[in-house]
Chain A
């Protein structure tokens, strides 16, 4: 029978089948198909060993169950008939569906996200006029990004900076992004033109006349921020929303610079604005419900996911990500190889290693923010990590990525190797810390500080904490968010507390869990967003 099928394998490995007799039975056709499949599998087999390795490379070592199960299903299924393959697939799928990671991720990406975007944090029953014309103060990276986001959403935007050239950077930024969108077919020339037409750039205060919202995005200096508000206030609509894009400066303090603090609010955008979906809305002590409602509506209008937090230095996101970087740099100081610290974070599921992240943020900025914290609070604890950052910036002139040197060396913007000099700045070279401890020190440092944010009222809800941590500061997505991480830890909150106590004993008081942690989480359990496992 098989002699009626011609089976040719080309140099490229592609198999061509020719059936000599068109009247052949279906059975013969099936055999031909089977033969061609064997040839395909043959070719595939040579590539197989690279697939798992490539997956591990792409996931940076994070052991996520779904991608692994998908690969396993595809390869295992290809060895058997299709019915059996479906059974194999089902077995893998059941394992994923009933697993903790799926519960975590459904909780965050379905329930929490829906609650946040649906306005759970927006004051109910507050009707406010939508923002139509936005003034953006400062055309730096953040200001330009905010202007583009607003214009893309159909809002009129006036960007003001100290000179026409400086303000023009906002337009150039938009042109660049729009050109890319057109090139990739995501926008037409006409769309792009319309967006650009909505952006006005100026160095004149008068040009802001009639704006019903202002988003200030100048340098992070309270005096400067107050000054630019004072300058533009007379031009704006009398009830204009007054928003400051700051990543750390307390809003209540900044609001002292304006005569109507009820309209003043923090809108903390994340960089790059066009790609980061999160917006952290910061409610100052005197911020009114109307301002919050308007800021929330504006955030939704420009497609952002707005979490709402109360005031406090660093708010939620900048404060908690600081714990992550401090812990990581602290481990380097202790003598843990810097490469291990990076690997520990990546394999825990963080998208970027903490040292690479610190370089991106810039060590100078980290240093400045910390000094602001130090100046503002007597309780601020000096950490060994701070010494290392100071040395890198002040003694070794390694301020971060922008300068081409920080924890890493950079060649023309591309990250190279870790700086070998780090090894000389540690207290206990070659110290061995269990890898799981490295990972959990970072995860726990963030989770414990998030719990404190809840205690102190900086965070209003666990939902905001979970969404903010994943979308704003790269907390591993598989956890379903920073507070859900506590809830889902082996043994639940009690298991988390026990492990935290163990870490406190080994690595320092900062890991001591709040006394009432277990009771408090038990009391608030069972709300819709938390009960996904049984929903």
Chain B
């Protein structure tokens, strides 16, 4: 009997700075996942792991210690029963939400009843891009499809939309302020599970990336990150050959208004109504719509706009029905464009900051945002949220969440 897909719980690690001085640099990616599985079991005493069927993990750089289907290895190491499978999937930056949506669809199929979905990325240990990519490195492919790196795409969006350096810096500052306020106000308390070592000692209990002390002046001093790459390596030329009415790309993005490189993991417990009843778990929300779609690959980062429309159509809802929006802050211009195109009230978008302040652990972020949105709906006693991410290659994934 097909069922609605319910979210029973959502947890995440704090995000550690994604470099060798980051707090989580000494923690293996598998350990981050196992820690969250343990936490879910602790938080939900009724959770009978014998009812779990699969663990879906988004991992964007699935090589080395993140390779070889880390999900299965993590399920085994966490002591889940042998029958619990594990699958790694990759939809670049939306992988964590892709895992959630895939799990929700499987629950709604009626074939399965209880799944764990989320993602992990130790960017300090497995560098972004170290898995190669035909799109970037195969000349035939890159030439035919106008490949440019994401940062150039973000600057291209800013140029097309007329977002100035001041506009994107202003947004970045707001992300920092909102994240600081959210941490101070305990808005993340329900989801964040400290990372502890084998001796039970805390390694990291809060997000390490935010810079609450940042000022507009400090941001204004940062050097654009993608100007050299764009100009010297020819990527600006590639973009301008396609967006031919522009004469030049204004490089406005830098480390301070782009998502932070961090380590982290997140998991969401998704199941049918029946399994909740059987195990005495209380559903926190339903996934009422989900969608993936493509958009222009050179512009690359506008996918959340059509994905949101598509997911809302699936849910039979309109923008007016949505209380909160969580869009991944890959780059400031991505959010500004999303807000502009959908005509949103900025005060309903990323109300607790986002990846510019908090960081973007690639494979995990989508699942993290889902938890953040759910916590905030509960805190404000609101009903629905849209969670969405822009994606490499020009895609978008969106999920519509409704509290029970």
Interface residues of A (CB under 8 A from B): 45, 48-58, 60-61, 63, 68, 71-72, 75-76, 337, 339-340, 343-344, 347, 417-418, 435
**Using Cβ atoms and an 8 Å threshold, which residues of chain A touch B140?**
68, 72, 76
* B-side contacts of A51, CB under 8 Å: 139
Whether B247 lies near A53 (C-beta < 8 A) is: no
CA distance A225 to B192 in the complex (A): 88
Measured CB to CB, the nearest residue on chain B to A63 is B143
* With contact pairs A45-B132, A50-B233, A339-B245 given, residues A57 and B149 touching in the complex (Cβ less than 8 Å): no
* B residues near A339, Cβ cutoff 8 Å: 240, 244-247
A49-B233, A68-B139, A344-B244 given. 6 additional CB < 8 A pairs? Answer: A48-B137, A50-B235, A57-B234, A339-B246, A343-B241, A417-B248
In the bound complex, how far is the Cα of B246 from the Cα of A337, in angstroms?
Answer: 8
Shortest CB-to-CB span from A422 to chain B, Å, is 11
Chain A residues, CB < 8 A from B246 = 339
A30 to B50, CA, bound (A): 53
CB pair B234–A343 under 8 Å, yes or no, is no
The residues of B that contact A50 with a CB separation of less than 8 Å are 229, 233-235
Residues of chain B from 228 to 260 with CB closer than 8 A to chain A in the complex? 229, 233-238, 240-241, 244-248
Known A-B contacts A53-B235, A54-B234, A418-B247; the reply to A347 vs B136 at CB < 8 A is no
Residues of A within 8 A of B240 (CB): 339, 343
For the complex, give the distance between the alpha carbons of A60 and B147 in Å: 15
Query: Are the C-beta atoms of A52 and B237 separated by less than 8 Å?
Result: no
A477 to chain B, nearest CB (A): 19
B142 touches A52 (CB 8 A): yes
Q: Are B137 and A53 in contact (CB under 8 A)?
A: no
Bound together, the chains give a CA A246 to CA B177 distance in angstroms of 70
Q: Note all chain B residues with C-beta closer than 8 A to A48.
A: 136-137, 139
CB distance from B145 to the nearest CB of A (A): 10
B347 at the interface (CB under 8 A from A): no
How far apart sit A71 and B241, CA to CA, in the bound complex (Å)? 20
For window 130-151 of B, CB contacts with A under 8 Å fall at: 132, 136-140, 142-143, 147-149
A418 to B140, CA, bound (A): 32
Shortest distance from the beta carbon of B139 to any chain A beta carbon, whole Å: 4
Q: Chain B residues near A52 (CB, 8 Å)? A: 139, 142-143, 147, 238
From A58, A72, A344, A418, B139 is in contact (CB under 8 Å) with: A72
Assembly CA distance A347 to B237 (angstroms): 11
Question: By the criterion CB–CB under 8 Å, are B138 and A75 in contact?
Answer: yes
Residues of B within 8 A of A343 (CB): 240-241, 244
A337-B245 contact given A53-B237, A58-B234, CB 8 Å threshold: yes
Choose among B237, B244, B245 the residue with the greatest number of A CB atoms under 10 Å from its CB: B244
A57–B237 touching, CB < 8 Å = yes
Other-chain residue from B233, B244, B248 in contact with A53 (beta carbon distance below 8 A): B233
Contact B143 A56 (CB under 8 A): yes
- Interface contact A71-B238, CB-CB below 8 Å: no
Instruction: Give the nearest-CB partner of B145 in chain A.
Output: A52
**Assembly CA distance A54 to B236 (angstroms):** 10
A344-B244, A347-B241, A418-B247 given; A75·B137 CB < 8 A = yes
Residue of A nearest to B241 (CB): A61
CB within 8 Å of A: which B100-150 residues = 132, 136-140, 142-143, 147-149
